[in-house]
Structure 1
Amino acid sequence: MSFVSDIPAAPSQEAVTHFARRLALETDCADVDASMKAREVDFVLLHVVGTPQAYALRHVPGALHLRHGEISAERIAAWPADTLFVVYCAGPHCNGADRAALKLAALGRPVKLMIGGVTGWEDEGLAFATGPEPGAFVPA
C-alpha cells in the first residue's frame, strides 16, 4: 500500500462538498485571466499588500490597490453590497489576502482569494501592469 492510498479517499459526496466549498472561497490566476480576456469581469480585483511604490512596480492588470489594513466599511461603501471582491497578495508565503478576505467577509461582502497571488500570476507567464493606476488589461 502506498502513502497515497494508505488513507482511503473520502466518499464521493464528501469530496463534492469539500471541493465545492473550496471553489466558493478561492479562484486562481488562470480563471481571473480568462475572465479578463473574455471581458467578463464581474468582480473587483484587489491588490491588498505592499506600498503604493511596490504596487506601481507591478500588479495584476485591473487590480486596485487597497491594503488589507485599510479595508473598512467606509472604504468599500462605493461598491454595491453584492459586489464580489477577489483579493490577492504576494504569493503563497503571504497571508495578506487571507487577512483581506476575512475583513471583507466580516463586513458581509462576498469574497474569493486568488490563490498564488503575484507569484502565481508570474508562474502562469501572465503580464503585469505598472504605474500607480490599475492599468488596462490587454488580451493577448
Structure 2
Amino acid sequence: MRPDLQRFLADRIDEITAEVAGEVTARVPAYTHLRPGEISNLVREAIAAYSGACEARAVLPVFRALGASEACAGHDVGHFESALRTAARVLVRRTAGAAARLYPPTAEFIAVMETAFTAESEIVGAAVDSYRRAARPAVARRLHPLLSDN
C-alpha cells in the first residue's frame, strides 16, 4: 500500500475530477452532460485502486453498478467505453505524475504504474461487462414480442 500516493492524489480530488469531466466531455460528445459533482465518487474510488490504497476488486462493484445503470439508461456501449477509457487516461497520467514526484524513477515507480494499469484494466472491464450483462435482458424484452407473434 502506498498511503502517501493515495493522500497526494486525494488532496487534489476536485482538480482531478474536473480534469476527468473536461476530458470526457471534450472527447466523447455523448457525455457532454457530465458534471464533476456527478463523477467525484467514481474518481475517488478509481484513485484508491490506481494508487494501491485498495485492491481493484474492492471498487469493482461501484463500476459494475455504473455499467448496469448506463445500459438501463440506453446509452451506447461504445460511447460508454470511450468515456471510461478517456477518464482512465487522465487518472493514469495523474498517477504517473504523482508517482514520479514521490518516487523518482525506481522500482517503486514501476510498481505504482503496474498497479495503476492493472486497476484500469479491471475497472473498465468490469464496467463494460456489467453494461453488456444488463443490456441483454433489455434486448430480450424488445425481441420477445417480435419473435412470439410468429
TM-score by length of 2: 0.24
Greater fraction helix:
2
TM-score by length of 1: 0.25
Higher relative strand content: 1
